[in-house]
Structure 1
Amino acid sequence: MGVRLLITGGTIDKVYDQSNGELTFEATHFPEMLLRARTEVEITSEILLLKDSLDMIDSDRALILKHCLECEENRILITHGTDTMCETAKLLGEGDFNKTIVLFGAMVPYAVNNSDALFNFGCALGSVQLLDPGVYVAMNGRVLPWGDVQKNRDLGVFQPLSP
C-alpha cells in the first residue's frame, strides 16, 4: 500500500508576493516537488488546507485527525507549518489508531533558494516507510516521536525535549 500525503500549508508552500513583500499562498508546490524527488513510492496527495500554522484553529486540527483516521493508507505524511507542528503532532499522537504518521515542513519556502523543503520531504518519506506505528516529526535530518520534540526558535531547528 502507498503513502497518503495530507497538505495543510505552512512555510513549505508559501511564495513571495512582490506587490506587498509578504509570504502568501497561491497553490501547493507538491506536484513539482514529487517530480523533482523522482520517487517510486505510490503517493496519494490531498490538499486539506493552505494555511499558516499560526492561523490554525481546533477545527483545522480536527480535519487533519479525521483524514488520518479515515484514509485507507497506514502510512501518512502531513505538511505543516513549523510554529504549531508539535501541537498537531500531540493531538494525533494521543489518538488511538495504528498508523505511522510523519509531520514535516520547512523553515524556508520551497520556492526560495536554499530551501530545506525537499530535504525534509525526503527524510519524512523515507521515515514513514520504516518507522513503527506512531506519530513523528521529521525536520532538520532528525525524526523525533511526538512526545519528545520541540521547536527551538532561537536556533531555528527541531530537537528532542530530553537531552
Structure 2
Amino acid sequence: MTIKLLITGGTIDKVYKELTGQLVFKQTHLVDMLNQSRSMVDTLSEVLFLKDSLDMSDANRALILQKCQASETNRILITHGTDTMVKTAKLLGKEINNKTIVLFGAMMPYSIKSSDALFNLGMALSAVQTKKCGVYIAMNGQVFDFDKVEKNKGQGIFISS
C-alpha cells in the first residue's frame, strides 16, 4: 500500500529566521521526519506549495481537492496549517467519499525541539492506514471526523464539535 503525501506548508514546515525573529518557509521537512521516525510505510510525496493556512486561497484548496481526486492511491496524508485545516477538511469531505484522507500539522514547527510534529505525523500515518474511507484530522493524539472537529484557539488544541 502506497500512501500519497501532499505537502501544503503550515507551521509544521516553518523555521525560525534569526535575523528577523520570524517563522518562515525554506523547504519541507517531511522526508526528514519520515526518516527520523524510522517509518517503513511506502509513501510518495508531492509539494503543492508551502503556505501558512491563513494565506491559502480558494484556488489552493481547489488544487488540493483536484490532487486528491486524481490520486491513484486511496490513502492520502495532507500537511496543513492548523488555522484553516478544518475548512479544507470540510471541502474534501463534501467532495470525496471513496478514499481515506488525513490532514495533520503542528502547533510548533518540526525545527523546534518541543514540536508536536513527529507525534502528529505518527498519528496521521496510523489513521490513514486503519480508518475507513472518509476525511479526518489527526492532531493532539486524536483522530477527528472532518465534520465533528474545531480548533480551540484559546487552548491551542483541536476538540470535538
TM-score calculated relative to the size of structure 2: 0.99
CA drift at 1:41: 0.8
Are the equivalent residues in 2 in contact too, given 1:13–1:27 (CA < 8 A)? yes
List, as ranges, runs of 4+ consecutive aligned residues in structure 1 with deviation greater than 2 Å.
none
What residue ranges of structure 2 are gaps of 5+ in the alignment?
A: none
Question: 1:100 maps to which residue?
Answer: 100
SS of corresponding position for 1:94: helix
Are the equivalent residues in 1 in contact too, given 2:96–2:134 (CA < 8 A)? no
Give the residue type in structure 2 aligned to 1:54: L
Question: 2:109 maps to which residue?
Answer: 109
CA drift at 1:97: 3.8
Matched, 1:36 2:19: no
CA drift at 1:19: 1.1
CA drift at 1:34: 1.0
Q: Distance in 1 between matches of 2:133 and 2:97?
A: 9
User: How many residues end up aligned between the 2 structures?
Assistant: 161
What is the RMSD computed on CA atoms of the aligned residues? 0.6
Structure 1, residues 20-41: CA drift from partner, whole Å, max 9, x if none? 1100000000121011011111
Are the equivalent residues in 2 in contact too, given 1:69–1:97 (CA < 8 A)? no
Structure 1, residues 58-115: CA drift from partner, whole Å, max 9, x if none? 0000000000000111000000000000000000000044000000000000000110
Question: 1:125 maps to which residue?
Answer: 125
TM-score calculated relative to the size of structure 1: 0.97
Q: Distance in 2 between matches of 1:11 and 1:77?
A: 16
Question: 2:59 maps to which residue?
Answer: 59
